Amino acid sequence: MYSHKVVLCGVNTSKLKNLTADEKHDLLVRAHNGDTAARDELIAGNLRLVLSIIQRFSSRGENPDDLFQVGCVGLIKAVDNFDLSLDVKFSTYAVPMIIGEIRRYLRDNNLVRVSRSMRDLAYRALTAREELSRTLETEPTADDIAKKLGEKREDVVAALDAIVEPVSLYEPVYSDGGDSIYVMDQISDNDNTDENWLEDIALREAMGQLSAREKNIIDLRFFKGRTQMEIADEIGISQAQVSRIEKGALERIKKSMK
């Protein structure tokens, strides 16, 4: 799934280790019993999970190294606080912890950058609006301001909008002394819910347990839309073999995602 080399914080992500469910459980038990080497191995073995999550925030223009480090903080918290008595997979517990850490970082570092030229135009427009308010004895329109400045109306409107203090998606709208509710929590997004994201990450982890041939066949079959016969011709095996490998891989994926 991550065949290309990407280096984040000095880590070659193409060489990140995949841990099986049994390996994770064994390392969690040892780590909670004070085995620091097991704790380090568990953290290193889940860096792919952090990498998957920070890709969700790639469009925000943040430094990937910074997001990766913040995500690792969330991962470490998940490792140290995971309750072994819980009947849940470690990744199911860790994903919200990592996402929460990244959201807090983005909330605390949320700065909207406005270019100097747009900022200057906005301040000139504000000055012109004050002057026109006195001479016209009424609130000037955007057209009035643009005409006085010799600028386009749309440029004046955009500049004034740019310096308005934005409402952050992470602005708290309610707090009862415990967890706060933020603006983002009130916005619906049916395509990118945390549930869908968890399912996507669970699928990536399950795919990571397949052999190279199984991954190739699943990728060609379900992500590239090839028929079993087309796949058979491409990789040089029979259609019956493709069908058997596909069926076995799907069963392993389903079992891993339970």
Q: Is the dihedral of CA 186, 191, 192, 196 positive or negative?
A: positive
The enclosing H or E element of 182 equals strand 180-182
Return the pLDDT at 3.
39
Find, among 249, 201, 190, the residue nearest to 221 by Cα. 249
Averages of pLDDT over runs of 10 residues in the chain (258 residues) are 44 69 90 92 89 79 84 92 84 87 75 70 88 84 92 89 62 54 55 59 78 90 86 89 90 78
Query: 165 phi and psi, to 5 degrees?
Result: -60, 115
Find, among 239, 244, 246, 245, the residue nearest to 223 by Cα. 246
